[in-house]
Structure 1
Amino acid sequence: MVTKSVQILGDAGAGKSTLIGRLIYECGGLELPQLEKLERNGIREFAQIANFYENEHMPQLFYTPSSQYVVDESKTPDVFLWVVDATVSDSGRASSHNLASLISTGHMRPQDNLVVLINKMDLTDWSLRIFEEIVRTFSTVNSITESKTSIIPISATRGDNIVEAPKEYPWVGSILPSQFAGCELVSAKPLAYILD
């Protein structure tokens, strides 16, 4: 099994800690002693898991079928996850500008993958229109990075499209680039499969 580094950045309040906690919890980063310690400390929310690991100086890690991922603060991780809040009214324009700035100035240099996660889709009732608007905003990101780039909708709180697509919203698992003006960055795969 290969160990890779991942850094998770994005908008303030976009759900980065919730995403880390969800990945640790759902993708095998918790062992029984750690789970017992979380329960003893009254930790019940995914964002609290990420904070607990950080406070305890424990590595934040999770697994995909072929790799182990360690959350890292490096400027050059193997994978960058950029988290966007789908509920923000500017269709991700400020977030897209911030991402482009970090990449173009060299403050962010993913080695393998850049994954733009449109989070909190559950709070938009999985609105395809909102997702399309945000995809259009981020569609030029691929031109400023050499990394493989993907854009996917998720709900870190509910766990939708982390390991499997939400069944209530079939459009998520059947996304085609032709739906998004040929934007090849859009993926129908859940996050764990994009990382694998």
Structure 2
Amino acid sequence: MDLLRFATAGSVDDGKSTLIGRLLYDSKSIFTDQLEAIERTSVNMGAEYTELALLTDGLRAEREQGITIDVAYRYFATPARKFIIADTPGHIQYTRNMVTGASTADLAIVLVDARKGLLEQSRRHSFLVSLLRVPHLVLAINKMDLVGWSQDVFEEIRQDFMEFAAKLEISDLTVIPVSALEGDNVVNRSENMPWYHGTSLLHHLENVYVGSDRNLVDGRFPVQYVIRPHSNDFHDYRGYAGKIAGGVMKVGDDVVVLPSGLPSKISAIEYGGKEITEAFAPMSVTVRLEDDIDISRGDMICRPNNQPQVTQDIDAMVAWMSEEPLRPGQKLVIKHTTRRTRTLVKELHYELNVNTLHRDEEATELKLNRIGRIKLRTTTPLLADTYGRNRETGGFVLIDERTYRTVGAGMII
């Protein structure tokens, strides 16, 4: 069954967790004991109705403050599709959590409170969705019940967002008026908004086409693990396991191994314990080659006439996730596909104001939750594409080599 990963984003109190709770509740994707538990908790909190947001807000601090802090992942399925939801925080100090949740999403839902319109954080998250190249965006104008189901309010917010979105790289935008609390246009079409002729949110999620979002042109296979069984039955066996990052691989294809540049042919592809004739992104497979080549973790198998750039100089946008600012001259570890190496921050070109999209070229450091353009120099070459071309081979994370904490997420320009 087809799988859709989607993330929610937006400002504080726009109803992201409530929307997901409503989606799970109305699609009958929660167990009876779960429902009973949140009903009891809602009563203890003095709520007048069942707080569906409690389905995703699992931390005690989240429930006490009525906010989302952590990225909560939920899984559900309908007859049409399987879903993985990332419920991300709205607070500005948790922007790094939002980046984490949206980085692997096929679709993002940006919620806007119909009473407040577009806020700074709504614009911030929309820009981040664009920067992370999430292929599909849904603007859900929530709490329509609190503005009398007004079409004029809906159209005004829709127009404001369209003007802002014109500055961003958004390929697919859908705008839906909803009431997460009442359930209007979440799973079922609303009778309170006869002027809206589009689909419900769930119907859109079930039918949005994501097949063309994968890069099936540029063959990219970063080697994660070399399989050499210590058994007489498999004495000559040598397989290369990993996740296909792009393109289609077929038995008999001519390939080249980077960074060595040695050529070979694919002799077999194994998936789920069985041999298959072809595989494509994002399948995790084992590839065997006709020639006995020295290949290790971090190498890449690709096509002879379609190769990534082999470079030690990286120009990238980075979302900084550490309390300690990023500064030129800093030494870090970079994790790119299956390759890990040390890197030096050579330059900070500018900090980007995500609200105005203006560049601060005088910036000398990049603080927590800020975004900027930097230049890196790595100790060993990376096998990279631009992020716009391939999110797998164009993205990376930066790690503090003292604490082993992830301090930055980058997108290669």
Using the size of structure 1 for normalisation, the TM-score is 0.76
Range 161-170 or range 135-144, more displaced:
135-144
- The structure where strand makes up a greater share of residues is 2
What RMSD, in angstroms, separates the aligned Cα atoms of the two structures?
2.7
Structure 2 residue runs of 5 or longer lacking an equivalent are 44-49, 63-70, 87-100, 207-413
Give the distance between the partners of 1:147 and 1:189, measured in 2 at CA. 19
1:50 aligns to 2:56 (yes or no): yes
Equivalenced residue count is 176
Within-5 A mapping of 1:49-128: 49-52=55-58, 59-72=73-86, 73-88=101-116, 91-92=117-118, 94=120, 97-104=123-130, 106=131, 108-111=132-135, 113-128=136-151
| Seq. identity, % | 34
What SS does structure 1 have at the residue aligned with 2:56? helix
Out of 190, 204, 216, which is 1:194 matched to? 204
Q: List per-residue Cα deviations over 1:124-161 (Å, max 9, x = no partner).
A: 01111100100101124266335421001000000000
Give the distance between the partners of 1:137 and 1:192, measured in 2 at CA. 24
Structure 1 residue runs of 5 or longer lacking an equivalent are 175-187
Q: 1:134 to 1:40 in 2, by over 3 A?
A: closer
Select the structure with the greater relative contact order (CA < 8 A; seq sep ≥ 6): 1
Range 9-18 or range 26-35, more displaced:
26-35
Using the size of structure 2 for normalisation, the TM-score is 0.39
1:130 aligns to 2:153 (yes or no): yes
Where in structure 1 do 4 or more consecutive aligned residues deviate above 4 Å?
A: 39-43
Q: 1:59 to 1:138 in 2, by over 3 A?
A: closer
Give the distance between the partners of 2:59 and 2:133, measured in 1 at CA. 25
Q: 1:53 offset after TM fit, Å? A: 8.7
Contact 1:85 1:119 in 2 (8 A): yes
What SS does structure 1 have at the residue aligned with 2:57? helix
* Higher gyration radius (CA): 2
1:148 aligns to 2:162 (yes or no): no
What SS does structure 2 have at the residue aligned with 1:157? coil
Give the distance between the partners of 2:108 and 2:72, measured in 1 at CA. 20
